[in-house]
Structure 1
Amino acid sequence: MLDSLRASKGGLITWIFLGAIIVVFVISFGPGSFSKGGAGCGGTPAYAARVNGVVVPVRDFEEQANRLSQFFAQFGQDVTGPAAVEIRKRALDAVIERALVIQEAQRRGLVVTDAEISAEVRQMPQFQENGQFRFDLYEDLVKRSYGSPARFEAALREQLLYDRMLAALDETVKVSDAQAKAAWRATADKVTLTYVRFPLTAAQAEVNPSDADVKAFAGAHAAEIDAFYKANPDRFDQKKKARVRQILVRVAPGAQSADDAAARAKIEAAQARVKKGEDFGKVAREVSEDPNTKDRGGEVGFVSEATFDEAFAKAALALEKGQVSDPVRTAAGWHLIQSEEVVPARQVSLDAARPEIARELLAKERAGKLLREKAQAALDAARKGKPLAEQFPKADKQVKIGGAPVVAEDAGPFAPSAASLPGVGAVPALAAAAAAASTGEVLPQVYDTPAGPVIAVVKLRERPDDSAFEAQRGQLTAQLRRQKEGEARVAWLQELRSGARVEENRALLGVASAAQPE
């Protein structure tokens, strides 16, 4: 193809174009696409993955991870700690899926010709000057970014294959008028509620069963108490935990031994400062590289065996209150840990827990009965014309139960077919009643929820108007098609991956800092 482009060569190159070296192509595919596999520094394989035996280079993966980080960062999202690990996982999935798509395109016999490559290159503004393709500009830019025009053209051919394969998949997606209308009706069918929830937890503070009542309840509900005990093992069989601070010096995945040694030396220097009497929190603020804990003086929170990196948890739980660990190595890097509080393991037998459980269940039962009575009274008043907002105002003469305010809230608009209603939760009977109701109608009963009974009035009921659909048919059909194309791509990629031989280099992912609050 180089020869076909050479005929367009001419004039002086406008070097100012070098300030944005074909960014659009680096976004789609980078020069790393042409790297070869092999061993990297520190023994880490120099590949991100092998897909059906084809190497996906580390450079492709790192470029994708950097692009994702920049994308999330520009919207103010955290891109450090656990978020960084998630970003790198997404990046690895993306480059693997890209390789699978290209391989499938090749298997199906899709071809991008030299003429198509030439036409694509000629229309790219990066290679034009005053609206005209300039071969010198093209040649110099791709040499700087890719090493040679041949490598760039090979990468471009892969990208066009990728785009062509996905376009062919998208063509299989069809949206009928009936499907578009059904989707529209689902979004045009809306309810806004005014509701009141009567708080169960707060009400339990208002009921105070006597010891005699608790004893009687325990005798009559032994099986229920046994089931509660078995369903809440963490409450009655508590593992040892420790509240700790940490200083972290990060070590990148696959780092060379010299980098690891430098990180250890830095943590040992921090250890020496603490041993000489400096405040651990002060040293953490100055030295630690964990953004989640650094500004809090390294404060992590409680650590237990099941919630943290194994090496970190083992070292933390071995400390007595006030002790500082020796340097600890995890996949995140080198840590120094200080114990601030130790909570020993605690196991409560069923017999010992029985009175506590009985009291809690009895209080919950009585609180539920009390709240249902209050809710029914409020519902009856609403049916007689007294608005919920008047019965349960947000400011003056506020109603309280167990010290918690009970106020009328608005929820919606939402589709009554939604699995969970905003502010209310998953209450199928309430949703069905709201769907059948009209604006201003009081819903017919008190509805039980885990957080307490709820009553509601339909503030606004909007039903689909088919004439409105006709005016939006084209736009709605296009939106539904894009949605279905996305779903089809996800399902197709999952199918491709399930049938492929994929070997991931998970050492490249790194791990989140062990120092996350429990």
Structure 2
Amino acid sequence: MLGIMRKYQQSILIKLVFGIIVLSFIGTIFLVWGRGSDKAGGPVGYAAKVDGTKISLDEFQKTYYRTRGIYEQIYGRSLTPELEKTMGIKKMAVDTLVDAVLIRKAAKDMGMKVSKDEVAAEIAKIPAFQKNGAFDFQQYQQTLKMNRMTPEQFEDAQQEELLIQKTRNKIKDQATVSDQEILQAFKKQNDKLDLQYVSFSPAEVKGEVKLTDKDLEGYLQEHQNEFKTPEQISIAYAVVSPAQFAAKASVTPEEAQGYYQKNIDRYQGKGGILPFAEVKDQATADALKAKAAKEAYEKAADAANKFRTQGDIDAAAAAVGAKVEKTGLFTLQAPPAQLAGEKDLVPRAFALKQNELGSPVETPKGIYLVKVTERKPAAVPPLAQIKGAVEQKVREVKASELAKKKAEEALTQLAKGGANLKETGNFGYAATGVVPNLGTSQELMEAAFTLSNAAPVAKQPFKIGDRWYAVKLKSRIDAPTADLAKQSGTIKQSLLPKKQQEALDTWLKGLRAKAKIEINPALVD
């Protein structure tokens, strides 16, 4: 039994394979799939190579989709392609797989091993294999079978994962927190600072900005999308109304009852579904309306197909007794008043080519026949036409750059003393980053508590809102250290996780530096 039980670690990786424990143990989700292979990897290529070990595209796809799935669960919505690219989901997946290969190789060199008993103990902890809080062998087998995994496959994967986790933990356990670090953290949490500062905003220095035509031309060339006019089209269209077919249409009682049965959820009463006898008239009217709409669409489709080659919307409209209307040029975001509310029609029109007669588009107002009569592509107007808008934008950018430059120059003056400086008043460290009289800046808050009498001036200016600040330490009130000994244990525990992660990151960085790693560029571009 222990052989079959081998490896049931708390790992989202395996649990995501199962699809039933997807929210558990996020930290170790991907390690199993980073196993890699020394074989050629088949004709489909590979995701990465690590010192000759190939990571297959299949491994990458599994890790990628599960990484994305976790973030979608965290955010409670699907990730857009843009957000996914910004977050670097694909790179996360590749890096996880590469790290797993490197750690396994390092574990072998370090002599790390995992016993069968360790694996069995981890398997027994997994809720999916338990009944009434205890491991159940039959439940274990059934769960694996449902997910098309053999016990050997699962156990081997769990053993690999546990080996990786033990190796990571061994590196993290080497991390220490020094007495000096504890003292610095104590002082950061308990000291009080008073800062002096000077600030500059773009609005205050905008008048000093001098622009040339070369500045405007250069900015326009590099930021064309900011000034590009959207694509425009004009269309000719005709609306076929189902009402014109309703007068000639009729439905039999059988057709009415059939419509009722297919759309029974529409006929709800306080006590539930109303019987057909009570809603017969309404169902008959609804069936007649649906029949007329279907006939109108079919007639419109026949006309569109007949005259599509010629692009003759006039003939198509005449065939269904409709009148052709025309629009001027309009954009996707700002359709003309006559098409207001037609959310389905307008995107379909923009998908057509010029002079193309499209397929019918059904909307609440009727069935549309549409032809694009003119298409004006998106374009960047000449500078002469938009000079005012470009100048305004460039002036804002240059003013912000000038404000930052003045703040940088002010830092040099602050080192010599400085005059007419404002003060924050005494304040303590706040995790929120709120600095009195300045605003919220976590970066400034952290930097402020590294300042000392020996080095009182910040190394760089800080931007809060649209203003740039140059800051200098005026005074620091040291907290009494009488409570340091009492708090040192708690402080050490709060600092240790970060130190452990830093140790692990440094170690992994070293492994990467020594390894020959080749990433398939198509996966991360």
For normalisation by structure 1, the TM-score amounts to 0.51
Tell me the residue number matched to 2:454: none
Tell me the residue number matched to 1:341: 379
Relative to structure 1, the CA distance from residue 34 to residue 171 in structure 2 (aligned partners, 3 Å threshold; closer, same or farther) is: closer
- Written as runs of structure 1 = structure 2, the 5 A alignment for 1:22-33 is 24=24, 28-29=29-30
Tell me the residue number matched to 2:128: 126
Identity of aligned residues (%): 23
Relative to structure 1, the CA distance from residue 427 to residue 202 in structure 2 (aligned partners, 3 Å threshold; closer, same or farther) is: closer
Deviation at 1:31, TM superposition (A): 7.6
Deviation at 1:71, TM superposition (A): 3.7
Tell me the residue number matched to 1:72: 71
Deviation at 1:498, TM superposition (A): 1.7
The one-character-per-residue Cα deviations of 1:323-368 (angstroms, maximum 9, x if unpaired) are: 98xxxxxxxxxxxx9633323489xxxxxxxxx99xx99xx99xx9
Tell me the residue number matched to 1:506: 521
Rounded Cα–Cα distance in structure 2 between residues aligned with 1:381 and 1:88: 48
Q: Secondary structure at the match of 2:111?
A: coil
Which of 473, 476, 493 matches 1:432? 473
Tell me the residue number matched to 1:475: 490
- Written as runs of structure 1 = structure 2, the 5 A alignment for 1:441-480 is 463-480=478-495
Relative to structure 1, the CA distance from residue 25 to residue 52 in structure 2 (aligned partners, 3 Å threshold; closer, same or farther) is: farther
Tell me the residue number matched to 2:180: 178
Deviation at 1:107, TM superposition (A): 2.3
Checking the alignment, whether the CA contact within 8 Å between 1:196 and 1:409 is kept in structure 2 is: no
Relative to structure 1, the CA distance from residue 23 to residue 484 in structure 2 (aligned partners, 3 Å threshold; closer, same or farther) is: closer
Checking the alignment, whether the CA contact within 8 Å between 1:192 and 1:411 is kept in structure 2 is: no
Checking the alignment, whether the CA contact within 8 Å between 2:49 and 2:517 is kept in structure 1 is: yes
Q: Secondary structure at the match of 1:55?
A: strand
Relative to structure 1, the CA distance from residue 129 to residue 239 in structure 2 (aligned partners, 3 Å threshold; closer, same or farther) is: closer
Relative to structure 1, the CA distance from residue 135 to residue 380 in structure 2 (aligned partners, 3 Å threshold; closer, same or farther) is: closer
Checking the alignment, whether the CA contact within 8 Å between 1:29 and 1:60 is kept in structure 2 is: no
Deviation at 1:173, TM superposition (A): 0.8
Which residue identity lines up with residue 342 of structure 1 in the other structure?
A: V
Tell me the residue number matched to 1:113: 115
Tell me the residue number matched to 2:510: 495
Deviation at 1:508, TM superposition (A): 3.3
The one-character-per-residue Cα deviations of 1:12-39 (angstroms, maximum 9, x if unpaired) are: xxxxxx8826875896348856787777
- Written as runs of structure 1 = structure 2, the 5 A alignment for 1:37-76 is 44-45=44-45, 47-73=46-72, 74-75=74-75
- Written as runs of structure 1 = structure 2, the 5 A alignment for 1:231-270 is 234-235=218-219, 242-244=228-230
Relative to structure 1, the CA distance from residue 487 to residue 281 in structure 2 (aligned partners, 3 Å threshold; closer, same or farther) is: same
Q: Secondary structure at the match of 2:379?
A: strand
Relative to structure 1, the CA distance from residue 131 to residue 423 in structure 2 (aligned partners, 3 Å threshold; closer, same or farther) is: closer
Relative to structure 1, the CA distance from residue 232 to residue 493 in structure 2 (aligned partners, 3 Å threshold; closer, same or farther) is: farther
Rounded Cα–Cα distance in structure 2 between residues aligned with 1:471 and 1:103: 43
Relative to structure 1, the CA distance from residue 411 to residue 180 in structure 2 (aligned partners, 3 Å threshold; closer, same or farther) is: same
Relative to structure 1, the CA distance from residue 343 to residue 141 in structure 2 (aligned partners, 3 Å threshold; closer, same or farther) is: same
**Alignment length (residue pairs):** 338
Q: Secondary structure at the match of 2:177?
A: coil
Tell me the residue number matched to 1:83: 83
The one-character-per-residue Cα deviations of 1:462-484 (angstroms, maximum 9, x if unpaired) are: 64332343343222101211111
Tell me the residue number matched to 2:147: 145
Which of 102, 105, 108 matches 1:103? 105
Checking the alignment, whether the CA contact within 8 Å between 1:22 and 1:141 is kept in structure 2 is: no
Which residue identity lines up with residue 49 of structure 2 in the other structure?
A: R
Which residue identity lines up with residue 53 of structure 1 in the other structure?
A: G
Tell me the residue number matched to 1:249: none
Q: Secondary structure at the match of 1:20?
A: coil
Instruction: Please provide the CA RMSD for this pair.
Output: 5.4
Moved more, 412-421 or 151-160: 412-421
Gaps of 5+ in 2: 7-17, 233-307, 314-325, 336-342, 348-352, 355-374, 385-393, 411-418, 426-435, 451-457
Which residue identity lines up with residue 48 of structure 1 in the other structure?
A: A
Tell me the residue number matched to 2:416: none
Deviation at 1:496, TM superposition (A): 0.9
